[in-house]
Amino acid sequence: MNKKDFGKLSKLISEKIYNKNDYSTGIKNIKKVLPEIEGIFSKFEEFHRKWDFKFFKEYKLFLTLYGAGGSYEADKGEITILTTKTGEFKRGINPIGTIIHELVHIGIEERIIQKYNIPQIIKERIVDKFVFANFKDILPNYIIQNFGDKTIDKYLEDKNCWENLPYFVEKYVEDLDRK
């Protein structure tokens, strides 16, 4: 590709494919909930002290107009969430549920999910139950996804499970191995 063609491609990308106005309402909606999101960091720090929940002092948040409702890069502390040109998110106009969900994914990925080789369907269940149990004060209408495998639920019902989640996930894995 020569320099002239690259310049045309660059202009096409910046004018046609990426239009910052498409994200402006989504960004405004995120800015509204930033204080609430920052408020949960103390809980993350607590879990970090107790069982090495991965916690970054700073996260990067990216918006996209296509793809899944949310995704993450656990090693980098990066989250990408889906928005629409009208500023809506997968769980409605308020992005806080999706953002917290992805933050929890980052927090448990290395210490629990990778260590115990937890499959996606169980991982989603753990994250949803974690968010529901620990953040119901700011997410009273948080909905746990239907597709999660419920076999882990009995290990997550103990009132102390969140204080030492790796222990309860390890028990789950050991019990599966015995079967």
Q: In whole angstroms, give the CA distance from residue 51 to residue 130.
A: 14
Q: Which domain holds residue 23?
A: 17-178
Q: In whole angstroms, give the CA distance from residue 101 to residue 97.
A: 6
Does residue 7 lie in a domain region?
no
Whole-angstrom distance between the N-terminal and C-terminal Cα of the chain? 58
pLDDT in the model for residue 17: 67
pLDDT in the model for residue 68: 84
pTM above 0.85, yes or no: yes
Q: In whole angstroms, give the CA distance from residue 98 to residue 33.
A: 12
Does residue 5 lie in a domain region?
no
What does the block give as tokens for 19? 């239009």
User: What are the pLDDT digits (tens) for 116-171?
Assistant: 999 999 999 999 999 999 999 999 999 898 876 799 999 999 889 999 999 999 99
* pLDDT band (50, 70, 90) for residue 2: low
Res. 101: pLDDT tops 60? yes
Domains: count for the chain: 1
Q: In whole angstroms, give the CA distance from residue 98 to residue 176.
A: 30
pLDDT in the model for residue 15: 61
Sequence-separated (6 or more) residues with CB below 8 Å from residue 56: 77, 106
pLDDT in the model for residue 5: 61
Does residue 8 lie in a domain region?
no
Does residue 102 lie in a domain region?
yes
Does residue 88 lie in a domain region?
yes
